[in-house]
Chain A
Amino acid sequence: MKNRIWRRALGLAAGLAAALALAAGSLAPQSTQAADDGTFKVGMEAGYAPFNWTQSTSANGAVKIEGSSEWANGYDVQMAKKVAKALGKKVVVVKTSWDGLQPALTSGKIDAIIAGMSPTAERRKAIDFSSTYYASKLTVVVRRDSKYAKATSIKDFNGAKITAQLNTFHYEAINQLKGAIKEPAMNDFPAMRVALESGTIDGYVSEVPEGITAEDANPDLTYLRFDKANGFKTNPEDVDLAIGLRKNDPDKAKINAELAKIPQKTRDRLMNEAVANQPSSDSTSNWLVALLKQYGPMLLRGTGMTLLISLIGTVVGFLIGLLVGIARTTPVPKSKGKRGLRAIGNWLLAVYIEVFRGTPMIVQAAVLYYGAAQAFHLNMDRTAAALLIVSINTGAYISEIIRGGITSVDPGQFEAAHALGMTHLQTMIKVILPQAIRNSLPAVTNEFIVNIKDTSVLSVISVSELFFSAETVAGQNFQFFHTYLVVSAIYLILTFTISRLFRIVEKHMDGPKNYNVMTNQMQVETPKIG
């Protein structure tokens, strides 16, 4: 169902981690089974209504999201509950980004993917699938007042301007609409809905659940109910949804048996309930008030997480950078042995800097979080992994900044300190570093700001920072423009505040340009009394 190429492109990073882990896995016996603790850990985005979404209460049989104060619900969640019950386990929802689902499964962080995923041949190479738990149908979404709203067959679209989402099988299906004009493909559903409303197109090819949601969200739109004979011809691989499992999962038979027991009628009822229960956008006239009222707390938590990761990451990265920068600028020792040690140390530090500056943080995060779990069974907390990645990454950049700061200090400062008999360490601590740090401060501020923005790539390991929260919100309310506009504003406020704050710190460190003897003399006298 979700065959979006652009998402797959993002998923390349996770794929690289998986590839690395596969290589390592072929050496070590593979036993990436999650600990059998009586829980059935299900991975989903919790942001793809009506299949799965995030809500703030336990209403309508929602399931608590692991490590969060929020709840997940939707068709997938209800299916997960049934399957878990049949296995005699307790269902746990692990909120995972789309790109992180497969690596999370193969690395044993989750037991199953129930996330509106279709069992494509490509995915079958890496993971196994249960039998179908929902079969979707293709439909065309049109304006309620257009002549195509009365269409009953795919043959009734002569002259209709039709589009579909880019890089999906939906777009190919337009060829089945006889006489339809194939418009250029579009990027996402909100864009197509806007195009449809404005009359740029007469319809777009979609799937029934999305059609229901579109109709629900916008009373001017409707989706067409074709009967079997007059509908699209589709490949089951495209429209069927199945539960993703690790290869050779011993529970597969039990899961298939349970799915076989759920008749089509029950499935339709569950989907209707899911569509009815899915979070609908607040009808308050002011979109901003509505957005903040409904999703404010979620965005605020995301902001907090972004700030926490970037702040700790920058502080720890600064300390790493300081140590590395100092180590790389120590004077060449006289003895040969020490000189060799220094050369080896410097080489290692250079490798560290080049590796972490030379690879994208998104790849580093995927390697550390998914790759390490798969290859070495190293299960990290995702927030800890995020902090580690950001710190090490920042350290690599800041060490070069500090090194530059140190070399830009006037050599006369070193000479004066040495001529007074100070050791190298004393010289660094008392004289050079305070100046080097002051010189480096604007660049360090930059790093902090970059970190605030770049933590967004950590959504790949499902850290609930601001961008991840925004994706969740937009996935629920379909107000992509409004949601991301608000999130942009939050990012801007954060970065602007940080840059102002650091300017104040710099000014404070520099002191006034001129020295006034009269006003400062008062300060001179006071310490003498004590």
Chain B
Amino acid sequence: MTDSNETILEVKDLKKAFGDHEVLKDISFSVNRGEVISVIGKSGSGKSTLLRNINLLEEPTDGDILFHGQSILADNFDLRQYRAHVGMVFQSFNLFHNLTVLDNVVVPQETVLKRDAAEAKAHALDLLKQVGMEPFINAKPGQLSGGQQQRVAIARAEAMDPEVLLFDEPTSALDPEMVDDVLNAMTALAHTGLTMIVVTHEMAFAQDVSDRVFFMDEGVIAESGTAEQIFEHPQEARTQEFLRRYLTRA
């Protein structure tokens, strides 16, 4: 599914520590346009921290992150523009509680991208329709189920026309019967050629949709490869053990 070999994002020797606790130890990889990367691993292995460093919700302790070859840590780097181009979908949805479903998707377009109201609204309605949330555009987030909220959150991230979308365990907070709706929406997105980095516990999704899979353990990428390499022929012992536990449980 990789359209080209153009590198969008490059992570170089990334380290992150909270006090004495080293969560990320020397992580390096690059992401090409159109790639879908799944990041799997145990809880506490640093998956979420990695994503949060990529859009600077957390500040790296050391190392660098390049976006189109430019360091996002440089003083003169336009962080807001960068964030507008690198979307994020959270485990806990984080829809704006004070806004309706429609406004959740419209307002960021207006404030950040300076789109005019009509254009933003047309775009939002189109995307909400794609995730099946059009009937709920006047609802407030509190009136929706978790799965419905997450689909709105995906539409919100999509509305910014991002170059890269980061997913931070998007289905972990959902009831099992709602997981499929969200995964379907994500799969559809992946098929449009959007670049995605997905932290997930959904092994089926990782296996079926990803171009590459990273297995993280204790703050490092212990093993990476195509979905087939990781799931069919894992080389590392800890990858094998993780997969054995996960796949038998599922």
Contacts and interface: CB of A to CB of B under 8 A. Distances in A.
Interface in A409-445: 410, 412-413, 415-423, 426, 430-431, 434-435, 438
Interface residues of B, number: 34
A174 to B, nearest CB: 69
A523 B111 CA distance: 25
A421 B94 contact: no
Contact of A417 (B81, B96, B160): B96
A422 B80 CA distance: 7
Interface string B63-89: 000000000000000001111100110
Contact of A418 (B57, B134, B157): B57
A413 B135 contact: no
Interface stretch (A50-58, A133-141, A212-220, A512-520): A512-520
B193 interface: no
Given A412-B92, A435-B98, A420 B112 contact: yes
Contacts of A420: 83-84, 87, 108, 112, 156-157, 160
A403 to B, nearest CB: 18
Contacts of B96: 413, 416-417, 430-431
A421 B80 contact: yes
Interface string B29-59: 0000000000000000000000000010100
Nearest to A431: B96
B143 A513 contact: yes
A515 to B, nearest CB: 4
A121 B215 CA distance: 92
Nearest to A411: B94
A26 interface: no
Contacts of B112: 420-422, 426
Contacts of B84: 420-421
B95 to A, nearest CB: 8
Nearest to A437: B98
Nearest to B148: A515
A266 interface: no
Given A412-B92, A430-B107, A419 B55 contact: yes
Nearest to B108: A420
Given A415-B90, A416-B94, A517 B136 contact: yes
Interface in A379-413: 410, 412-413
A250 interface: no
A337 interface: no
B140 interface: yes
B188 interface: no
Contacts of A413: 94, 96-97
A524 B138 contact: yes
A435 B140 CA distance: 13
A430 B96 CA distance: 9
A523 B138 contact: yes
A263 interface: no
Q: Which of B90, B137, B138, B157 has the most CB of A within 10 A?
A: B138
A415 B52 CA distance: 10
Contacts of B143: 511-515
A235 interface: no
A69 interface: no
14 contacts: A410-B97, A415-B94, A416-B96, A417-B108, A420-B87, A420-B112, A420-B160, A421-B83, A422-B80, A426-B112, A515-B136, A515-B138, A523-B138, A524-B137
Interface of A: 410, 412-413, 415-423, 426, 430-431, 434-435, 438, 511-515, 517, 520-521, 523-524, 527
Given A412-B90, A520-B135, 9 more contacts: A412-B94, A415-B57, A416-B96, A419-B83, A419-B87, A420-B156, A422-B80, A511-B140, A515-B136
